[in-house]
């Protein structure tokens, strides 16, 4: 019989109506069946009853609860039954947020109990403590199975002349569900975006250049942007300035992918002129050598050998001496412009390494040259 009453209470709770999704402050209601283990001095069998509760949460972790409960317990050795009616206030404390599917909680509270028994009736205060858990049965958290247990200290001094309070335990099981509706603010439909007929990203009402072809880069007015300038290659070595690790490489010198002169690369200058029959550089020649200076500054680890060459005019011995003097003069000028002497060497080869015929004026001009060869990258 006891089990049938408890099952009926659970079924009744499950049949209640649920209205809307829950949030952290939505009030709730619970209907539970109760099983009580009374204090021995009551001389009662175990009791059955029910509990109706109303919760008013203030957040995910705390909720005051009002409890209305009643228990009926048969008297031992006598006919009839004692009845107890409780009105209490509990404080449910959740160590973890109630939003999880399984939510344990603690209960602390108290209230008043009216007892209807054969010997006498009375109303007494009580305190209680316990705990339980919720198992949410839907994602909206509107319905949950609730099980809890409470230990009661009932300050009933009429049940027994020796004891001034009674110790009793009550187990409750049932269904908890939310009340009312969750308020949701209506979401206004966003306004339609402004028209952009040519699809350039500038609305028609601001577009000063309508009809721009698709894919054209435009400014804030919707007008085509000028094409970007081509990348710069200031020293003309084929490597753009933003990638050039060795700026100001002399024009004509072979470089690697970083823009730095490679070993054995060379540059030939035919405009390195000297005053007649001497190794003194002309002003124009110094201007040409300044380009070499800039290249050496742009690649501080680079080393050079400076080779002097002449045409076949005059004696071989004279030409060899003159070529050595001219190569040395070129080196001295580079050093005077701040290039370390240790990075430079010079040599003269006279007329021994012609690159053109000495029989023509043009060929002799080609042979009169100064070559700069990279000895160290």
- pLDDT tens figures, 258-273: 878 787 777 787 767 7
Domain final residue, candidates 178, 198, 232: 178
Residue 82 covered by a domain: yes
pLDDT over threshold 90, residue 314: no
Domain final residue, candidates 178, 202, 219: 178
> What burial letters (b/e) apply to 324-350, b meaning 16+ CB within 10 Å?
bbbbbbbbbbbeeeebeeebbbbebbb
- 165 and 245 inside one domain: no
Residue 354 covered by a domain: yes
- Number of other CB atoms surrounding residue 374 within 10 Å: 22
- 173 and 248 inside one domain: no
Residue 173 covered by a domain: yes
- 121 and 257 inside one domain: no
3-state secondary structure of 191: coil
Q: How far apart are CA 98 and CA 133, in angstroms?
A: 10
- 353 and 252 inside one domain: yes
What CATH number is attached to the domain comprising 296?
3.30.1330.60
Residue 132's domain comprises 2-178
| H-state helical runs in 76-173 | none
User: What angle (nearest 5°) sits at the alpha carbon of residue 42, between those of residues 77 and 45?
Assistant: 55
pLDDT at 268: 81
pLDDT over threshold 90, residue 64: yes
- 174 and 250 inside one domain: no
What's the rounded mean pLDDT across residues 20-29?
73
pLDDT at 237: 79
Residue 377, judged by CB atoms within 10 A of its CB (0-12, 13-18, 19+), counts as middle
Residue 153 covered by a domain: yes
State what percent of residues in the chain have pLDDT above 70.
90
DSSP lists the bridge partners of residue 143 as: 177
- 267 and 349 inside one domain: yes
Q: Which tokens hold the place of 44?
A: 């009662």
For residue 294, CA distances in Å to 26, 287, 336 come to 80, 11, 13
Give the DSSP H/E element, type plus range, for residue 170. Answer: strand 166-178
Tell me the pTM.
0.45
- 127 and 268 inside one domain: no
Residue 184 covered by a domain: no
Residue 217 covered by a domain: no
Residue 202 covered by a domain: no
Q: Which tokens hold the place of 47?
A: 């009791």
- pLDDT tens figures, 159-171: 777 888 899 999 9
pLDDT at 366: 86
Domain final residue, candidates 123, 144, 178: 178
What CATH number is attached to the domain comprising 152?
2.40.160.20
Residue 262 covered by a domain: yes
pLDDT over threshold 90, residue 52: yes
Q: How far apart are CA 300 and CA 376, in angstroms?
A: 10
- 265 and 148 inside one domain: no
Q: How far apart are CA 199 and CA 176, in angstroms?
A: 56
- 143 and 283 inside one domain: no
- Number of other CB atoms surrounding residue 114 within 10 Å: 14
- pLDDT tens figures, 326-377: 889 889 998 999 989 999 899 999 999 998 999 998 888 888 888 888 888 7
- 174 and 245 inside one domain: no
pLDDT at 183: 56
User: What angle (nearest 5°) sits at the alpha carbon of residue 300, between those of residues 297 and 306?
Assistant: 75
Report how many domains make up the chain: 2
What's the rounded mean pLDDT across residues 118-127?
88
Q: How far apart are CA 48 and CA 4, in angstroms?
A: 10
- 140 and 254 inside one domain: no
Alpha carbon 210 to its chain centroid, in Å, reads 39
- 59 and 169 inside one domain: yes
């Amino acid at each position: 019989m006891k089990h049938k009453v408890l099952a009926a209470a659970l079924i009744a709770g499950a049949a209640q109506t649920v209205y809307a999704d829950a949030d952290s402050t939505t009030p709730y209601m619970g209907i539970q069946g109760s099983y009580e283990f009374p204090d021995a001095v009551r001389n009662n069998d175990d009791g059955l009853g029910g509990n109706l509760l109303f919760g008013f949460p203030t957040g995910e972790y705390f909720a005051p609860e009002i409890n209305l409960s009643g228990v009926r317990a048969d008297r031992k050795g006598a006919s009839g039954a004692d009845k107890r009616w409780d009105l209490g206030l509990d404080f449910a404390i959740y160590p973890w947020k109630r939003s999880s599917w399984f939510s344990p909680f603690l209960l602390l509270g108290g209230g008043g109990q009216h007892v209807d028994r054969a010997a006498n009736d009375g109303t007494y205060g009580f305190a209680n403590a316990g705990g339980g858990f919720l198992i949410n049965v839907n994602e909206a958290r509107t319905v949950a199975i609730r099980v809890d247990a409470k230990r009661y200290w009932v300050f009933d001094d009429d049940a027994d002349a020796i004891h001034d309070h009674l110790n009793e335990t009550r187990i409750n099981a049932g269904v908890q569900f939310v009340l009312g509706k969750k308020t949701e603010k209506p979401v206004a439909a966003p306004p339609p975006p402004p028209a952009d007929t040519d699809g350039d990203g500038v609305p028609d009402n601001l577009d000063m250049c309508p009809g721009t072809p698709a894919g054209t880069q435009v400014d804030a007015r919707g007008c085509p942007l000028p094409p970007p300038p081509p990348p710069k290659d200031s020293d003309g070595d084929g490597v753009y300035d933003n990638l050039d690790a060795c700026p100001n490489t002399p024009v004509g010198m072979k470089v690697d992918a970083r823009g730095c002169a490679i070993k054995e690369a060379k540059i030939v200058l035919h405009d390195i002129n000297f005053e007649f029959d001497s190794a003194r550089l002309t002003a124009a020649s110094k201007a040409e050598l300044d380009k070499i200076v800039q290249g050496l500054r742009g690649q501080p680890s680079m080393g050079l050998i400076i080779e002097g060459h002449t045409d076949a005019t005059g004696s071989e011995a004279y030409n060899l001496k003159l070529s050595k003097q001219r190569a040395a003069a070129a080196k001295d000028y580079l050093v005077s412009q701040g290039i370390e002497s240790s990075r430079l060497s010079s040599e003269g080869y006279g007329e021994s390494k012609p690159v053109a015929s000495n029989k023509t004026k043009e060929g002799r001009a080609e042979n009169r040259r100064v070559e700069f060869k990279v000895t160290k990258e």
